[in-house]
Structure 1
């Protein structure tokens, strides 16, 4: 917009530069006058400076004095820049209101970039100024000298709160610039990284629109620019691989021509997945992928035990067969299990191991137990384990759900309240984030009172299912403990060896040869017993003595590493004392000793209620 650019950022922007005034958004360390503290930064003599400098520094009285003395607010300076431009660039909201009241043209074009004040407010990332100019009648659809409209500039400079506000105020997500590019195309081409593209995809843009010059889609632009994050997101969203541009090239053609092997792999993999969907048989397979994954996991675990339990004495042969089995399983999963369902592989392993543990108990250990009470106890533990696994899996963990209309209303309300930032607004879900919530990338949703995304459950653990998750851990640890007890009984009655007589190494060797299958199940049960008991202990400690979730605890620990004033884990607004913490979590009165607080964490946005409750309990 100005006549020259600083040497460090001349390729980044062409903003007006004055002594102590820098309009370049984030290119280097110079500070914009608009963010300096105090209404009057140090200047030689506020009473003698010209109106341009007074506007840049926000000296309201001097500006009013000069305007009242007859200065025309519509008069541009020697760089064809008006006072309204300077006020917008430096976020001088009071002066913008004043100049408009004195006749300033809100959509005046000026400077080398032939931009409006709104364009430069967006370049600078001044959301309050953008809101003010729009209220004063600024037209966001106007094109600047570089061919960009307001929303294109917001995407180009990656000011996502401004993008959200413009769209919520009615801007079309598929608005085109001078070259016919939509914001999605511009993001795919120039905004390296997945975040801007992921954000725009939440507003349902047209994936297969083409620009007016090269006839490229957003996917064409992403591949040509080597933007791997955007390529991945566009393919997942369903962007076409068959559309040809002006040169007759499809996205696959561009991927083959590029030097980026990862992009070519993603495109070929997506083609393979889409071709599978055209096969009737593979459609059926895709429909029942989870059951197929569970069945293959059951077979795989059985095959491991079968190979180990075979009559061959050559462990080298058994090791070779196990490697072949692993290769076959990997090939099977790659061919028949989609990428999205691969995250449930640990869950399938867990359920398969529980199944074979129970089978081993019933056929191998039950004859040696000799106690009906123990038999009933094990059955109850297994049933409890399966029940609470199902409850954890099926129960809504606390997803934050809103309609599209509510999302736009929230965006506008947060922006006008000055709270539209990443601490209060989720750019992925487009929702206002309640306290203690977190966006889960695996589930692609915000979860209230988020604890973790469980590897073994394959689901988020949050407000709705945290209690079920703890009970699942409890029953799995107890069931594993009973399996270890049954293993010891089996070895003592079935294997002709003794730890006290033969020593540790001989005893271990003998029990492995005695029944490799039992030793295999013993190893699996030991693994589950260790991790569940440790994790259950950690969870109960956090809930009872800290009043925190695992995610909150890790956040505090990470912040303490870089903070000069570390925060105590015990001194948080959520820690109301051991008994009260337990009562609130389990929603029980602890035999009448305390009264549980009922807090809807899907709609809790401030700490006032919590602080009040804490004061009451401390009294």
Structure 2
């Protein structure tokens, strides 16, 4: 490539035909090795007389006054140098915005072809990833669809060099994601073939490119090209996106056939497993079963929890027999899960286990523990706790946690606005969702969506916790803890009423053996209760602490703590813009007015992009 990827930063460049900017004809692979691009603030060579610089060298260093002097003296800005490179090319590769504006105002041709690869200034800017220069050249009329000497358009070059902001901007400005090079390859094919790794293949898929498109020569799809290059990451991403396994190239070969030819066992395994998975989906029985996967998972959990307790409650004294039965049960359940439950539904196993545990805990409490409580008042916490538990669990799961929802057109407008304002970076833009990220939002890779005021992705409910359902989640933990504590008390009361030994009279070991022989099922349920009480109470305490005293989410608290550990200067968790004091933090979180004593701040975190500092007197905040 003509530019080489280096720059004249005041260290080596003596004239435009030597040094970093004088290399022409580099292959695309070694472009990555030259990172010496100059910046506008680069220090110029010490003790040099800038008045003697020729116009090419002055352009490379960004000396606007010297260039204006030479142009006014009669230099033609359209005149190429001996390597057929124009001043506009040199200004573009060095990201000299002011010089580009000046040269174009003096008649420079914005799409002038030059260099060994017959490229335009836009091609040079794209290769270096100068988004601001790309934006300027496009505004000045540069054509991104032009093909350079290697047969690549601007979008193809942005893909080759993995400049994601440039890719996003070019597509948002109207360049087709399925534009082809001189061989008929789309950017997706080029990425799968030439770029090892998931990006920018995964990024391009966000713009809905054609997965069935084939090139003009080999008639390969993007999946074919990924297999040819042995790009396992790209193959995995393309299979996840639904690329066809049945399309044949000009030689009649499918992607799996090419994998066998390359003798790449991992690719063969991936493609074979995908074929089996898709064949299963064609089964009518399995399609029906897929609709009820979670129900099957719940029934399996209920059965598994009951079976473990049933085996433990057997009268047999043979622990070998009981152990063998438990192993057999685990094997059967794992086989059922592997055969009939998809991988995407297995993430809900903790929720199914929690619901199964709550069912058998409540059944045990109702049948065995409630009769031991003398009055209705002592039984009331159990019924109220169960009612609140299931209600707030349902609200937590069914309520939108605050997913950032935008249309494709809105995404493209946001990309253009962010790019032209110089803010198209990972702090303000999510490359997975293609959305402008609101304040306090975070992309959840499990849900594959950005969540407003993100707290966590809770494994126990298989759902994100965010702006929309955070308060419901905390109340769910409150009622879960209440039920568990009541059940723990009920267990101890049951043992004291129905077992013949006590800890104080007989000691720990004798008491334990008597409890085991008295009621193994109750001991088993006590173990489940203790487990769920431990994590629920710990999580509840952490939630209440960070909500009340810090005004932060779990993600924010964790991020600040890590920052404090890395920083030489400690970061105070309590001194944040979101901490208004204990009472106000609680009022804001639960949106509680406390009979008019408090005024909660009303903020729509799905649309809050700027940080606003509020005085103590003015607590009424509205989203901007």
> What TM bracket, shorter-length normalisation?
over 0.9
The residue that corresponds to 1:87 in the other structure is 91
Q: How does 1:404-483 map to 2 (within 5 A)?
A: 404-483=408-487
- 2:367 pairs with 1:349: no
- 2:371 pairs with 1:367: yes
Return the alpha-carbon distance in structure 2 between the equivalents of residues 106 and 380 of structure 1: 74
Return the alpha-carbon distance in structure 2 between the equivalents of residues 551 and 434 of structure 1: 15
- Give the secondary-structure state (helix, strand or coil) at the position aligned to 2:51: coil
- Unaligned stretches of 5+ residues in structure 1: 7-15
The residue that corresponds to 1:33 in the other structure is 38
The residue that corresponds to 1:122 in the other structure is 126
Give the one of 271, 274, 294 matched to 2:275: 271
Return the alpha-carbon distance in structure 1 between the equivalents of residues 46 and 250 of structure 2: 56
Give the one of 497, 508, 511 matched to 1:507: 511
Deviation at 1:133, TM superposition (A): 0.4
The residue that corresponds to 2:252 in the other structure is 248
- Give the secondary-structure state (helix, strand or coil) at the position aligned to 1:446: strand
CA deviation string 1:68-122 (max 9, x = no partner): 1111111222222111000000100111011111111111111122211101111
- 2:319 pairs with 1:290: no
Q: How does 1:232-247 map to 2 (within 5 A)?
A: 232-247=236-251
Q: How does 1:266-345 map to 2 (within 5 A)?
A: 266-345=270-349
Deviation at 1:22, TM superposition (A): 9.0
Q: How does 1:155-166 map to 2 (within 5 A)?
A: 155-166=159-170
Deviation at 1:138, TM superposition (A): 0.7
What's the C-alpha RMSD, in Å, of the aligned pairs? Answer: 2.2
Return the alpha-carbon distance in structure 2 between the equivalents of residues 423 and 316 of structure 1: 58
Return the alpha-carbon distance in structure 1 between the equivalents of residues 309 and 480 of structure 2: 21
Return the alpha-carbon distance in structure 2 between the equivalents of residues 149 and 561 of structure 1: 46
The residue that corresponds to 2:112 in the other structure is 108
CA deviation string 1:271-311 (max 9, x = no partner): 22211221111111011111111111111111111111112
CA deviation string 1:525-577 (max 9, x = no partner): 10111111111010111111111101111111222333333422111111111
Mapped contact 1:20–1:33 kept (Cα < 8 A): no
The residue that corresponds to 2:54 in the other structure is 50
CA deviation string 1:406-452 (max 9, x = no partner): 11111111111111111101111111100000111111111100000
- Give the secondary-structure state (helix, strand or coil) at the position aligned to 1:47: helix
Mapped contact 2:3–2:93 kept (Cα < 8 A): no
Q: How does 1:102-251 map to 2 (within 5 A)?
A: 102-251=106-255
The residue that corresponds to 1:9 in the other structure is none
Deviation at 1:403, TM superposition (A): 1.2
Deviation at 1:43, TM superposition (A): 6.7
- 2:548 pairs with 1:532: no
Mapped contact 2:198–2:237 kept (Cα < 8 A): yes
Mapped contact 1:290–1:341 kept (Cα < 8 A): yes
Give the one of 562, 576, 582 matched to 2:580: 576
Question: Comparing 40-49 with 422-431, which one deviates more in the overlay?
Answer: 40-49
Return the alpha-carbon distance in structure 2 between the equivalents of residues 382 and 57 of structure 1: 73
Change (3 A) 1:2 1:158: closer
Return the alpha-carbon distance in structure 1 between the equivalents of residues 130 and 114 of structure 2: 19
The residue that corresponds to 2:12 in the other structure is none
Give the one of 491, 503, 520 matched to 1:516: 520
Return the alpha-carbon distance in structure 2 between the equivalents of residues 592 and 59 of structure 1: 65
CA deviation string 1:252-273 (max 9, x = no partner): 2233344544433332222222
Return the alpha-carbon distance in structure 2 between the equivalents of residues 307 and 120 of structure 1: 72
Change (3 A) 1:213 1:484: same
Deviation at 1:19, TM superposition (A): 4.4
The residue that corresponds to 2:559 in the other structure is 555
The residue that corresponds to 2:9 in the other structure is none
Change (3 A) 1:254 1:43: farther
CA deviation string 1:216-264 (max 9, x = no partner): 1111122232323322221122110111122322112233344544433
The residue that corresponds to 1:402 in the other structure is 406
- 2:63 pairs with 1:59: yes
Return the alpha-carbon distance in structure 2 between the equivalents of residues 290 and 46 of structure 1: 73
Mapped contact 2:3–2:22 kept (Cα < 8 A): no
Deviation at 1:616, TM superposition (A): 4.7
Q: How many residues align?
A: 606
Mapped contact 1:573–1:614 kept (Cα < 8 A): no
TM-score by length of 2: 0.93
The residue that corresponds to 2:391 in the other structure is 387
The residue that corresponds to 2:13 in the other structure is none
CA deviation string 1:311-365 (max 9, x = no partner): 2211122112212211111111111011111111111001110001011111121
Mapped contact 1:368–1:490 kept (Cα < 8 A): yes
Deviation at 1:615, TM superposition (A): 7.8
Question: Comparing 197-206 with 383-392, which one deviates more in the overlay?
Answer: 197-206
Give the one of 605, 608, 612 matched to 2:614: 612
Change (3 A) 1:323 1:541: same
Deviation at 1:37, TM superposition (A): 4.5
Question: Comparing 92-101 with 493-502, which one deviates more in the overlay?
Answer: 493-502
Return the alpha-carbon distance in structure 1 between the equivalents of residues 206 and 3 of structure 2: 39
- Unaligned stretches of 5+ residues in structure 2: 7-15, 620-624
Return the alpha-carbon distance in structure 2 between the equivalents of residues 240 and 131 of structure 1: 36
Return the alpha-carbon distance in structure 2 between the equivalents of residues 41 and 204 of structure 1: 48
Return the alpha-carbon distance in structure 2 between the equivalents of residues 302 and 520 of structure 1: 10
